[in-house]
Each structure stands twice: as structure tokens, then as C-alpha cells.
Amino acid sequence: MKRIQIGEFEELVLLITAILHGQAYGVSVMDTIAEQTGRKINISAVHTALDRLEKKGFLKSKVGGATGERGGRRKRYFEVTELGIQAIKLTRQMRNDLYDQIPEVVLSEING
Amino acid sequence: MIKFLKSSYPRSMAEQTPQPPSWLLNFFRRLCKPSYVEYIEGDLLEIHERQSREHEKQANWSFAWNIIRFLRPRYLKGPEDVYPKSTYPMFKNHVKISFRNMRRQAAYSLINILGLTVGIASCLLIAIHINMELSYDEFYEDSDRTFYVTNGGKGRYTPARMVSTLIQDYPEVESGTRLWKVNDYVVKIDGQTTKITNGLVADSTFFDVFPQEFLQGEPKTSLIAPNSMVVTKTFAERHYKGQNPIGKVIEVEGDNYTITALVSDPPRLTSIPFEFIVDFPREWYVTTGYWTGNNYFSFVKLTRSEQEPNMEAKFVDFVRHYYAKEVAEDGENIEDYILERLEGGNPFFTLESLKDLHLHHPHLSLGKGGRFSDVLILAFIGVLILLIATINFINMTTARAGLRHKEVGVRKVLGTTRGDIMRQFLTESLMVVLTATILGFALAALSLPYFNSLTERSMVFSDIASPTGFILIAILVLVTTLLSGGYPAFYISSIGPVQALKGEGPRGSGAGVRKFLVIFQFVVSIFLIATTIIVDRQVKLMQNTDLGLETEEVLAISNMTAIADKFDYFKGQVEQQASVQGVALTNQRPGGGISNWGYEVISDNPFKYGPDHIFSDGNYLEVLDLQLLEGRFFQPGRQADSMTVIINQHFAKMIGENAVGTTLSRGRDRNFTVIGVVEDFYATTVKRKSRPLVIRYEDDVNGSVAISNYALVRIKGDFLSTVAAIEEQWQEVAGDYPFEAVFLNDAFNRLYQNEERFRSMFRLFSILAIFIASLGLLSLAAYVLERRYKEIAIRKVLGASSERITSLILRDFAIMVIIAAFIASPIAYFYGNEWLKEFAKRIEIDWMLLVIPVVMVLLFTLLLVVVQSYRAASANPVNALKQE
């Protein structure tokens, strides 16, 4: 099994990017993270994560969509790659596997 | 630079998007990696715009903070963004293109490279030659306090006891040695008879004065024992291959010598070359000798070099002290003796530094002498050649580059930076220069044998590949590259693409400069041709001058003082040979040095003068075949003749009418009567003016007034056997004493050997310079024609004939030649005369001589240009005009 290691934050960004499905770029990801998790992340952190994910091959980027607010500057959109999807699935799988192994007893205690 | 287009997003005046401080933006832009800049800025602005709807101030602070957050290594500019893109890969690309360009313009590149190669090779050879000439005798550490003792400033020989007495009497004289030069000895090595040459006879102190590297044996003791010999490695290899020569006995001219030491070969660049050294025989003429007999080369080493002038002053007292006895024996007062000598203006003895020997006193060198003025002139030519070659090269390169303006324009449109174009041009020129340099080295190495024969040297490749050579070349490469690549690099690269593509060349394409450079080359060529002719003619003149005396058949034997008492016997023996026509005794050899003595002419108009002076016996006239004009010559045996003199025509003219019978006085009742006048002859080199001459009678080797050291023997018939016989007779009388004899014509020729050598070198390098210049001319002609390609075509279409076109182009060149002629001729005239001043008999530089080079250059130019022009002019004009 291929070891896929990404940090917690990177995983978050990866998931959000997948959710945004073609609309993911710096600001949109940042906003969505704030919506979904309440975490206010600095734009630079988002950019960095996106960049790293792309370098690792989980995302690919393309350029487009200049607007007035941006003074005509284009956006860099990110999309999840095959590898990225694999990574998402694998991680989820792993989490679920681990979750499934937790004895009932512990889980019921948590719920309380 | 990324251009940001103003978006077409509609907005009303009231809703102008507030902008963050632009300085922040600029700050960030300057630091951020180009590939990220746009997207990051975009996001930042978007956020700012959003935030500024609520809190404008806050938005700005956030903006600033965000920017700070983006200052990470990931986003900052790295070295690859800051430094020029032209790294090593780019350089490789430049190089590749350079060679492609070279191949494309093959003909031009070839000529260019050829010219530069020849220039570099010549310059290299000359530079090394000069360097060698200047570094003679550097091997000896104390060369600055080692001196040659000359006799009267020019004379090579000094008395036997000179060195030892100097050491004894003067504390500042630390050490010294005497030398004889051995031409050859007949020896027996291990039973085999052979000849050895290139040796010295020296005192045991030789190695104190000229320290050598001892491989075996001890310096101090090697020449102490009688019949010792020190040999060099070369000698050992040749005669004792594989064996140890130490201790071996070698029979030299009948005596057994023991080899006591082995030294490394003395350096090539030395005034004291040798392959072996033997000690002096223990004869009286070595240990004691006469003070008035001068037969030894003497060298001394002072404790400090600054003492030299003091020493020279002390010589007068020296002479007074030591010479008194012998001078008195001859019936003369020592004070008179001293006075006479000093009146003539000649010092007794002088000290000449070892370092100056090779170039400034070549006749004193025991090796081959050089000449300082020659070195200077060669240096000058070397520089000239280099100048022409590089100027040519630069000229041509820049000219060709000018034609590439279209290429530059296209490349600029494609996005090449000006910097890159500059680097391209520089690299191209660097490649060519390097190629030429490598070839130049190769050429220099290949032509070494020829050059060696020319300069009578034996240079080896390692001389060229020396550090000096490399440094020189490195500087040259740098300068040439910068100059030749610089102009196109800086100037042409500045063309705007539009201008270039429109077809306009760069403004002010430097045609004026080019013309100037071409004229300069013409000037140099004309100058060199003219001076070569001058040198040529002068040397020929010297060699063919009628000397006024017989030289081919006269053998001059020196060292008569060694056999003083037995001279008459020797003379008798020699005369007995059928082929010997006469033997004369004289104090100075024709073709050697000469002294002058003062006389007062007692006549109607008395005057004092110091004519040249020779002592001779009665046979002088016949032996040398001089022409007697008036009166008579000395008669051998006539005692009264000791108060008579013969004068030459020149002096006779000075005296006026009736020279015969005039009295010449040397004061105090020493009156001499003129009994005869001879036609002028060259007693010494033709380089000196013909001077008045007085011949006095002397038939005793150790005469009362002068030592006659030379016997002149007239030989008709078989020279070789006669000389051999004479040598035997000499040895019968003189034993081991070296037999030094030379034919007068050889002696005279040797005077001009330097000139001859100089002439050859001068000629060679002039030819080379001219060759290079013509290469330049060739390529220039081609270039000019190419530029005027269209013009020619149009003219043709309008009806001009090929000839007319050709003559048009020719006229331009011809004018340049004429201008050059007017510049070059006066210069050639001036410097030619300066050089000729050294020679008494010299050629005249007439206008004919100055015209010849101009005509030659003109014709040559004609040839080169015509051939090219005609071809261009005859071409189909359609081809030229089609080219658009």
C-alpha cells in the first residue's frame, strides 16, 4: 500500500478543493474553510498548502478568470487529480478502519 | 514585465475601488518570485476590496500584514531570478552559434583568423627572443658586482698579473679570474683521438666568480692541482657516456689531464659558455708575464657593485706603480707613458658590468654578443605587427557585424535581451580570438627551427609556453576580444527592432574610423618596405665596400707577445713556406680595435691632432697590399726609420701640400718625419668614418713604445695546409699557448654578422607585417564591395560598364594609398637616417628609394581590389536588386 502522507491542514485544503470542484482558488478556499470549520486561516497559509499539494501531485492548477477587484489579475484555479482522489479515499478508508476498531465502550463514553 | 489590462468591469464614479497603498504593492512585487506574483496579488486585492467596504483603514493594515505573511522563501526571488539568465547553458549556446557563424562566413573568418594567427605567432617569437636577449647572465647571482676588466675601454685583453694584483692590493676586489678561450684541442680519450671545443682555461678561482652547480667534485679545489679539468654534463655524455668521468685521465695536446669535477651545463643565456675548463699552465707567461703584455681576459668580483667607478680611478696609480719598471726598461719614463696614454683620451682600464656585457659590449662576450639597438627595433616591429593584426581583426569584425543588424532586429523581436545580444557578440569574438591564439602558438612552435636558424639560437617550445608567454597572450586575448567584440556588442545591440527590420543600418557605421585604420595600415606597410630596402642596401654596401686592403689572403695571428724573443725565428720559419708571401708585425689587427695618439704637426700652420695610430714593421705595406701614393714605406732594418712615420691620404690632405717631409712632434724632441703617404684604407670597421692615420715603425714585439701583438701573414695558395703548417710552427715556439688566428675577411665579416642577422630578421618580420596588412586589405575590399553591391548593380543597369565601376572603386583606394604615402615617407626618411648615422659609409636615401614602396603598395592594392571589383561588377545586376 502506497504511503500517502499529508498533514492535517493539507488534507483539509484538499477536501475543500474537491468540494469546490473547479472553483477552488486562494480566496475561495479560505472562505470555504472559514464557513465549514470556523477556522480563520491566513491567505498565505492557504496558498502554501495548495502549492505543496500540487507539488506532491494531488492537485493540478490552471489559470483563468481575471476580475476588476483583482485589478485585472488572473486567478489560479486548483483541481483534484487522480492521485488526489486516491489520497482522499485512502485517508477516509484509513480513518474509517481505525474508527471501526474502536470498542463500543469508548465510543459510548465519548457521546456522553 | 507583466502588463495588467484595465478591466472592462463597469463601475460608477462613486464606487471607485479603494486601492491599497501602492508602495506596499511595489514592495511586494519587487521581492516576489515572478511566477507567483500575479495570483498572490490578485487574491490580496480581492480580500482588500472586500474588507475595505467595511473598514478601510483596517483593510490596509490587513493588506500589509498579509504581505508580510507572504514573505517566505517559497515566494521570494531566488538567485535564478536575480542573476542574468545567461548561465553556463546559455554560454554553451553562444559558443555553438559562434562556430556556426564562423562556418557561415568561412572565407572571412579564415582570413581574419589567419591574420591574427600570424600576428600572434610573430609577436610571440619576437617577445621571447627579446626576453632572452635581455636575460643573459642572470644565472649568476652576483652578476651586479662582477666585472670585466677592459683594456682602455674597448680592449679585451689585460696583463697576466692584473687579477691577482688587484685582489692583493685592493680590499674591495673580492675575487677574480683570468680566462682564455679554447677553440679546439686535440685530445686522446681512452686511446681515441678526437677534438674537443668550446672550452676555457681558467684560474682556480673561476667558481668564486662564476659559481656553477657541482654534480661531483668541489668548487674550491677542482682547478688547484696542475693539469686539472672540469667537465660539464654535455661533455660527459658525449665522451664518457654511461661512465663516471671523475678521475679519468685525458690527454690534451700531449699532456695528461685529470678530470676532477663534473658540473651542470652553464645556462644557455650566458656570456661565458663552456663545455670544459682546464687550469692555466704553470709557465712564466702565466704566473708573471709582462705588464705591457695583454693576453688574458680578466674578470673581477667586487665586494659591492657601487665601488666600480672608484676602482677605475685607482687604475692610474696602479699603472704608475707596476708598469714603471718595465716601461723604464724600454727607456721611457713612466709619467710620460701615462701622459701619452691619457692624452689620447683613453683610460687605462675600465670595469664593465657582467650584466651589460651581452647587449652593450658584445665584443667582450665570450659567447655570442647581441646588440641593444637591435632589440629595440625588433620590439618595435613586434608591436607593429601585433597592432596591425589586431586592428585588422577588430576592423573586419566590426564591419561584418554591422551587416548583421537585421539579425539583431529579429532576435530582439523574439525577445532576446540586449544583454544577451551583447554576450553573443562577445562570445563570438572570444571564440575567434581563442582559435587564432591556439593556432598562433602552434604556428610559433612549428616555425621554431626556421626562427632559430635566423637568430642563431636554439629555442625550444618550452620557451614559448613559458609563464611570460601566457600572461602576454592572456592580456592580448582579453584586449582583442573586448575591442573587436565590444563595438558590435555595445553599439549594434542597441538597435531598435523596428529600425533594424526596416533595413536601415545603425547610424554612423564607423566608415570614417575604418578608413583611418586602413590608411594606417598602408602607412605601416610603406614604412616597412622602405626601411627594409634601406637596411638591405646598407648591409650590402658594407659587405661590398672596397676596404683598400687585402683581406682574403691575410691571416692575422695574435699573441705574439707570448713568443716575443723568438718572434724573429718564428717569422723566419713561416716565411720559408712557399705559399707565404710575407709576414708583417703590427700592434693592432685590421678589423679589430684601434687607438689614437696625439701629434703636433709642425708646418706653416701648426696644429695638434690625434689621428688613428698603428705600429708596424716594414712588411706591412706588401702584406696588406696598400697603395703607396707618395714617398716610401719603411725599410726593414733601417734604424733611422724609428723616427719616421707613414700617413694616409686623409691626414695628408689635412696637412696640405708636401706632406712628405713634414715633421710631426710628440713634444720633448720626439720628432717624426713623414716619409710616405698611403691611400686610405679601412684599418677598422667601415662603420667608422675614414680618419687620418699615422703608421709608426716598430719591429720588436716588445717595442719601446708599443707592444706588437699581431703577425699578419700573406698567403697565396693552399690556405688550409699553410695555416696548419703555421700552427705547427707556432706550437714549436709557443708550446701550449693558444694559436689564435683569423683571416681578415672573416674578421671583417664578423663585424657585420650582427648587421646581417638583423637584416634577416627585419626582412622576415617586415614581410609578415605586410602580409597581414594585405590580408586586411583583401577583406576590406571584399567588405566594401559587398556593401556597395546594390549601388554597383544600379550603376550597371543605368549603363555603366564593368570597367568604369571598377575604376571608381579603385580610385577610392588609390587616394588612401597616396595619403598614406605622404605620411609614411617622411617618417621612413627620418628614422632611416637615424639608423644610418651609426655607419660611416652609408647609402643615400633618395626619392627613388621612397617611391618604390609606394608603387609596390599601389600595384598590390590594385591587384587585390581589381580582381574583386571586376567579379562584383560583372555579376548580373538582377541578383543584387532582387535581394529584398
Give the C-alpha separation, B501 to B495, whole Å: 10
What is the arithmetic mean of pLDDT over B797-809? 75
Q: Can you give the three-state secondary structure of B140-151, one letter per residue?
A: CCCHHHEEEEEE
Cell, residue B115: 591574420
A66/B43 touch (CB, cutoff 8 Å), yes or no: no
Residues of A in contact with B39 (CB under 8 A): 25-26, 47, 63, 73-76
Among A51, A72, A75, select the one facing B7 at the smallest CB separation. Answer: A72
Which residue of A27, A30, A44, A74 is the best one to mutate when testing the B interface, meaning the one whose CB has the most B CBs within 10 A?
Answer: A44
Whether chain A has a CB inside 8 Å of the CB on B47: the answer is yes
Give the C-alpha separation, B418 to B240, whole Å: 71
Predicted confidence (pLDDT) at residue A43 exceeds the cutoff of 70: yes
Shortest alpha-carbon distance between residue A19 and chain B (Å)? 20
Q: At what angle do helices B847-874 and B789-797 cross, to 10 degrees?
A: 70
Predicted confidence (pLDDT) at residue B600 exceeds the cutoff of 60: yes
Half-sphere exposure of A112 (CA within 13 A, CB side): 6
pLDDT at position B4: 47
What is the arithmetic mean of pLDDT over B141-145? 82
Give the C-alpha separation, B331 to B333, whole Å: 7
Give the highest mean pLDDT range of B259-268, B422-431, B533-542, B837-846. Answer: B259-268
Q: How does the average pLDDT of chain A come out, rounded? A: 87
Question: What is each CA distance from B589 to A74, B582, B611, B734, B870, in whole angstroms?
Answer: 104, 16, 17, 20, 64
Which residue of A28, A50, A67, A69 is the best one to mutate when testing the B interface, meaning the one whose CB has the most B CBs within 10 A?
Answer: A69
Among B4, B5, B47, select the one facing A43 at the smallest CB separation. Answer: B47
Residues of A in contact with B47 (CB under 8 A): 27, 43
Q: How confident is the model at residue B14 (pLDDT cuts 50, 70, 90)?
A: very low
| pLDDT tens column, B391-413 | 788 777 777 776 777 777 787 88
Q: How confident is the model at residue B501 (pLDDT cuts 50, 70, 90)?
A: low
What is the arithmetic mean of pLDDT over B331-356? 76
Q: How confident is the model at residue B280 (pLDDT cuts 50, 70, 90)?
A: confident
Shortest alpha-carbon distance between residue A1 and chain B (Å)? 31
Give the C-alpha separation, B691 to B653, whole Å: 11
A70/B41 touch (CB, cutoff 8 Å), yes or no: yes
Give the C-alpha separation, B774 to B793, whole Å: 27
Q: Are B718 and B663 in contact (CB under 8 A)?
A: no
What is the arithmetic mean of pLDDT over B758-780? 80
Residues of A in contact with B41 (CB under 8 A): 70-71, 73
**Residue B864: partners with Cβ closer than 8 Å, 6 or more residues away:** B774, B777, B778, B781
* DSSP calls for B612-637: EEEEE-TTHHHHHTPPEEEE----TT
Among B4, B11, B47, select the one facing A71 at the smallest CB separation. Answer: B4
pLDDT-wise least confident of B20-24, B466-470, B602-606: B602-606
Predicted confidence (pLDDT) at residue A13 exceeds the cutoff of 90: yes
pLDDT-wise least confident of B233-242, B676-685, B708-717, B784-793: B784-793
Predicted confidence (pLDDT) at residue B661 exceeds the cutoff of 90: no
SS3 A24: strand
pLDDT at position B123: 82
Q: What is the ipTM of this complex?
A: 0.89
Residues of A with CB under 8 A from a CB of B: 25-27, 42-45, 47-48, 51, 63, 66-76
Shortest alpha-carbon distance between residue A14 and chain B (Å)? 19
pLDDT at position A49: 94
Backbone angles phi, psi at B425, to 5 degrees: -65, -45
Whether chain A has a CB inside 8 Å of the CB on B40: the answer is yes
Whether chain A has a CB inside 8 Å of the CB on B73: the answer is no
| pLDDT tens column, B826-866 | 888 888 888 888 776 677 778 888 888 888 888 888 887 77
Whether chain A has a CB inside 8 Å of the CB on B462: the answer is no
Shortest alpha-carbon distance between residue A34 and chain B (Å)? 14
Residue A29: name the closest of B58, B71, B47, B41 by CA.
Answer: B47
A73/B42 touch (CB, cutoff 8 Å), yes or no: yes
Predicted confidence (pLDDT) at residue B62 exceeds the cutoff of 80: yes
A44/B9 touch (CB, cutoff 8 Å), yes or no: no
Q: How does the average pLDDT of chain B come out, rounded? A: 78
